[in-house]
Chain A
Amino acid sequence: MLQLINTIISRPSGAIGLTLTALHLAIALLAPLIAPYDPTVQNADAVLLPPSLEHWMGTDTLGRDIFSRVLHGGRLAISVTFAGAVIATVWGSFAGIIFGTVGGRIDEYFMRLVDAFLSVPWLLFLLLIISIGGAGPSTIIPTLGFFYGAAVLRVIRGAAMQVAARDFVTAAKARGEKLWPILTREMFPNLSDVILVEGAMRWSWMLLAFSSLSFLGFGATPPTPDWGLMVAQERGLLSTAPWAVFWPCLALSSLIIGINLLADAIGKALGIDRATAMAM
């Protein structure tokens, strides 16, 4: 583990990625302790103030402190998308490993189904589901998890097929070992690196997707501080109050960039060829 971290931070991009991600996670955890103001308290006398000593990043249209809101603004998005990414990675890689190992007809038919599923315009389908279930995390998390899981499945299955073709797996199959021991003893240990990197990448794209949802009015609901929602609500004020747009945008982008760089660096450190494993 320590060695992995060392390898990651030996490259500048890896060091940046790790720092950004760790910083964001720390801020999200500690936001209630370090934020100077309550992120939802409105002040009719301090509307759209530019950045000052009192309000480091200025205030928004309801007189709320943007610095405090930016500190809090990742909590919902990070937790929702992290949960979504975990679900996606778990079911996607589990199914992917099985189908990659089993192969044959079942695999072929099932993959056709997955491919068909991937051709559903996902954002539109997501909107439909959210219209049914309401815009709460209890709807968004499983939906994101399910959708992104299908893409994970595709990638992991591809990687699993390569592993399954290797000598030690064919040998195990020849020994007549059952499927489950092969999965846990041979397949999973050889795929865990790919799964880790894949999961991290999915997470970063899910963050972006969540902000799009917020923009369209299906993600976070006001007055929750959320970067995507903050940008969406104030974007019309780019010319009069650029600070209200800039800071949440910077926070969102830097987190996504951080996770991306980190995932890349982990991949490189573990010797994973992202080129063949990457999909959108």
Chain B
Amino acid sequence: MPTLILRRFGFAAFTIAFVSMIMFAAVEALPGNVCTSFLQRLAQGPRLERCIEQQGLDRPAIERYADWASGALKGDFGYSLKKRKPINEVIGERLANTALLGGLATFLAIPLAVFLGIVAGVRRDRPLDLSLSGIAMLAMTIPEFVTATALIYVFAIVLQWFPAVTVMRSGMGFFDMLPNVVLPVLVLSAVLIAHIMRMMRASVIDVMASDYVQMARLKGVPERQIIRRHVVPNAMIPALNVIALTVAWLLAGVVVVEKVFNYPGLGTLMIQAIYDRDLPLVLSVALIFSAIYVAVNLLADLAALMIDPRLRRGGH
């Protein structure tokens, strides 16, 4: 058991290193560099050369990667030329904002989705299930930027309950931020709920048809108890995997949502950084994204181990 967990951690570390290498290679392959994007029209002749020299862009790529990686290991992500700030500083606030957005969406979505999924699964093919599944299907297929625009129109422009875009002020506390995140969280969690609910529903239906549930029924165990004792725990195991995978989607969906709501999070930062060819910044954000992903997967793995003792024996 401890070795199993250790191996998972080792793999997590490997994954993060692997991602940073892929991203480094990709940005290296882009035409242009941080100097051409920084100087724009002035990127000609000696000024360009000076910038390249100052930024150390004339050094071999491997050397620059090693530099950045050793700094990152010590917790120092380097300096962003375009933002004129240390990257730790640039990322810090953005990370908190995205964490607030993603965290709220996840904590709102997962319990609700699991509950709705169980309800729909138990009431399979009844009107309640059909309407829940139908709504979920809609929520999954309408692009987030459409949902977001519609919500802005209704709740920000017509009703004026919430702000249409996020306006950041210094010294904003948690409660000042709350009105700003309501609409983005709604958009994100709608999609999350739809995906997880569908998975949970399918999983519940699967377990309900299994032998041991049939057996319990024959033995006369009350239906409520069957659902609580047998169906829910067993249905959770495959669902956990999907919950972890939805986080991967969340990280991408956040990019679109942040753009629509002018929300200063990591997603918009990453897109800007790609445009700006701000290599250290791209790498750092990618690293954080994959670290979140890996961490969530790790959690899901551990949770599955806790729920299902059978998994603890072998690897898989």
Query: Measuring CB to CB, which residues of chain A are less than 8 angstroms from any residue of chain B?
Result: 108, 112-113, 115-125, 127-129, 131-132, 204, 208, 211-212, 215-216, 228, 231-232, 235-236, 238-239, 245, 249, 252-253, 256-257, 260-261, 273-276, 278-280
User: What CA separation (Å) do A131 and B26 show in the bound complex?
Assistant: 10
13 A-B interface contacts by CB (under 8 A): A115-B11, A116-B15, A120-B286, A121-B289, A124-B252, A124-B274, A231-B143, A239-B157, A249-B142, A253-B142, A278-B199, A278-B202, A280-B249
Q: Look across to chain A and name the residue whose beta carbon is closest to the beta carbon of B32.
A: A131
Taking the complex as formed, is B141 at the interface, i.e. its CB lies under 8 A from any CB of chain A?
yes
**CB <8 Å contact, A131 and B15:** no
A204 to B297, CA, bound (A): 25
In the complex the two chains form, what is the Cα distance from A256 to B141 in whole Å?
6
B274 touching A118 by the CB < 8 A rule? no
B241 an interface residue at 8 Å Cβ cutoff?
A: yes
Chain A interface, >50% SS class: helix
Q: Is the CB of B15 within 8 A of A119?
A: yes
Per-residue contact bits, chain B 114-155, to A (CB 8 Å; 1 contact, 0 not): 000000000000000000000001101111111001100100
Best-surrounded residue of A123, A231, A236 (most CB of chain B within 10 A)? A123
Which of chain B's residues have a CB closer than 8 A to the CB of A124?
A: 252, 255, 270-271, 274, 285-286, 289
Q: With a CB–CB cut-off of 8 A, which chain B residues contact A253? A: 138, 141-142
Q: Is the CB of A215 within 8 A of B145?
A: yes
Q: Are A132 and B153 in contact (CB under 8 A)?
A: no
Closest chain B CB from A17 CB (angstroms) = 10
CA distance A125 to B252 in the complex (A): 10
Q: Which of A216, A231, A276 contacts B271 (CB 8 A)?
A: A216
Q: Which 6 A-B pairs have the closest CB atoms?
A: A123-B252, A275-B202, A116-B15, A256-B141, A275-B206, A121-B289
Chain A residue nearest to B293 (CB atoms) is A119
- Which residue of A112, A232, A236, A260 contacts B141 across the interface (Cβ within 8 Å)? A260
Q: Is B18 an interface residue (CB 8 A)?
A: yes
How many Å lie between the Cα of A12 and that of B53 in the bound state?
67
Given contacts A119-B294, A212-B143, contact A128 B27 (CB under 8 A): yes
B interface SS class: helix
Given A208-B141, A280-B245, 18 new contacts (CB under 8 A): A113-B18, A120-B22, A121-B248, A121-B270, A121-B286, A123-B255, A124-B255, A125-B22, A125-B23, A131-B275, A212-B145, A212-B252, A216-B256, A231-B143, A257-B141, A260-B137, A261-B137, A273-B206
Give the A-binding residues of B (Cβ under 8 A): 11, 14-15, 18-19, 22-23, 26-27, 29-31, 137-138, 140-146, 149-150, 153, 157, 195, 199, 202-203, 205-206, 238, 241-242, 245-246, 248-249, 251-252, 255-256, 259, 270-271, 274-275, 282, 285-286, 289-290, 293-294, 297, 315
Instruction: Name the residue on B nearest A126 (C-beta).
Output: B252
Closest chain B residue, CB of each to CB of A207:
B141
- What residue of chain B has the Cβ atom nearest to residue A151's Cβ? B245
- Whether B146 lies near A249 (C-beta < 8 A) is yes
Q: Are A212 and B11 in contact (CB under 8 A)?
A: no
Check if B248 sits within 8 Å of A127, measured CB to CB.
Answer: no
> Which residues from chain B contact A212 at a C-beta distance below 8 Å?
143-145, 252, 256
